[in-house]
Amino acid sequence: MTSIPLNSKPYQEVLESMQSFGKDDAKYKNGRTWSLVYHLNDEHTQFLKDAHGLYFSENGLNPMAFKSLKRFEHEVVKMAAGLLNGDQNVVGTMTSGGTESCLLPVMTYRERAKAKKRIGSIKPEIIAPQSIHVAWEKACKYFNVKMVSIPLKKDFRVDVMALKKKINKHTIMIVASAPSYPHGVIDPIEEIGQVALERKIPFHVDACLGGFFLPFMEQIGFTLPAFDFRVPGVTSISADVHKYGFAAKGVSILLYRNMEYLKHQFFIHQDWPGGVFASPALLGTRPGGPIAAAWAAMNALGKKGYQKITGQIMGCTKKLMDGINTIDGLAIMGRPHMSVFAYASTDPVINIFAVGDVMEDKGWHIDRLQRPEGLHAMVTPAHEAAADQYLMDLREAVDFVRENPQLGSKGNAAMYGMIANIPFRGMIKKQVLKMMEKMYGPDCEMPLDQEGKEPLAIRLGARVMNRLKGFSKKK
């Protein structure tokens, strides 16, 4: 379809067409995916649709026009602040998702540094672990801030001594994870908080993954390192409600210790011919549905509901991690603090990406990590019924790859392995850019060609390899 149809169509006909388009989408409801969707159950999903639909057309741009949305936002912020051990001074806003909750603190702390005349013409800097979510790199690009990446220790947590050495007069903020997306570990928040206090630098905790999970782990008896507003030095926290808060996408919460920080996030323009304009976050028009559905989810589930779900998920996580550790040739990476983990090959014969390929042939949607290479999982309630099958298939996949080591040099395994280890990282970026241009260009070439051609990812890898061969010959 390249133009708007001339004639109207019945609503039901359009809906049926849309439904057919999803027949090849990832099957998240039966636990076949390990990221992207946090599905509780069909009943809860329908409840979220109903709550979302009640405020489908309302716009949070003007809180005076839609006082209901402002009430929802205020109460969600207060509930989240209490959950994360903030006092009565904690303030914040709801955002469109984790990425916006990462973009805004970079802009906010940059503006704060400017207001305090801490930075001049020199490019401001933020300090973060190498494992920090890539959205922070995006934020730095958008707001012209330099990212200073700090290496990880063997336990995959950031090296605090190395972090401390990188602080200078251009540092506008420090950020760390609770937990990190790749390995599911909580960075040394208390140690970093002490450094931030001593150097008087704002410190943000990215708890987009853990903000609506770690507190309930503590409530049901798990012992965790402190990561929230209990830690002196922590000035802001982000937490996604559409992840383990089981709200509708997309909605996240961004909290600041007090208004002294949040005020630098506000955008106000007084001279526009359209009138005085004020916006608390990144978006102008703010969809009312996700805001309302987040409030609904938190009220419907309550602490007891979240506690029960957390216990179920952690039980499934332990089962999966224990099962993976018993498979000869595999091991969990580090010591994950919650339901997010990765595992790697401990046998040189077993290519972990080849294992991922075999698992995908068995119907699983597999996420891959690089540096170091591994496979990744985020556990949700949907995985309780799928855990045994996953472990059985994984064991078979490892045995198959061990018996067929040549699989590591074929297909996606070869491509992912090559991309993970190519020293010329700029070349990867250029090739991925070309891929994006085709996907979003006028012909909209999809990653999986509908005519049975090789996946675009494989062709991408082949192009990079050919470029490397050419480079070697020139050298």
| Same domain flag for 313 and 275 | no
Residues 174 and 96 in one domain: yes
pLDDT for residue 275: 85
Instruction: Check whether residue 279 and residue 319 sit in a common domain.
Output: no
Instruction: Give a yes or no: residue 24 inside a domain.
Output: no
Single-letter amino acid code for the residue at 103: L
Between 468 and 210, whose confidence is greater?
210
Which tens digits make up the pLDDT trace of 95-116?
999 999 999 999 999 999 999 8
The average pLDDT across 38-46 equals 93
Largest CA distance in the chain: 71
Domain range enclosing 329: 303-411
DSSP 153: -
Residue 458 has pLDDT above 70, yes or no: no
User: Quick check: 470 pLDDT over 50?
Assistant: no
- pLDDT tens for 361-400 read 999 999 999 889 999 999 999 999 999 999 999 999 999 9
3-class state of residue 332 by DSSP:
strand
pTM: 0.87
Q: Cβ of 307: how many Cβ atoms within 10 Å?
A: 17
Residue 278: pLDDT over 60: yes
Residue 222 confidence (pLDDT) above 90: yes
Mean predicted confidence (pLDDT) in 12-24: 89
Domain shared by 429 and 455, yes or no: yes
171 and 71, same structural domain? yes
Question: Is residue 106 within 8 Å of 136, Cβ to Cβ?
Answer: yes
* Segment 201-205 mean pLDDT: 97
| Tokens 């506000």, located at residue | 266
Residue 187, pLDDT > 60, answer yes
Structure tokens belonging to residue 200: 């008087």
Q: Is residue 3 part of a domain?
A: no
Q: What is the dihedral of CA 365, 382, 244, 332, to 10 degrees?
A: -60
Q: What pLDDT score was predicted for residue 27?
A: 84
- pLDDT band for position 342 (cuts 50, 70, 90): very high
Complete DSSP assignment for 338-352: SSEEEEEE-STT--H
Q: Show the beta-strand stretches assigned E in 24-111.
A: 91-95
Radius of gyration of the chain (CA): 23
Mean pLDDT across the chain, nearest whole number?
Answer: 89
Above 80 in pLDDT, residue 290? yes
Q: How many CA atoms lie within 13 A of 336 on its CB side?
A: 26
| Number of domains within the chain | 3
Among 282, 236, 218, 233, residue whose Cα is nearest residue 81 = 236
Residue 340 sits in the same domain as residue 462: no
**Residue 84 above 90 pLDDT?**
yes
Q: Name the residue with tokens 């559409």.
A: 242
Q: What is the pLDDT of residue 348?
A: 93
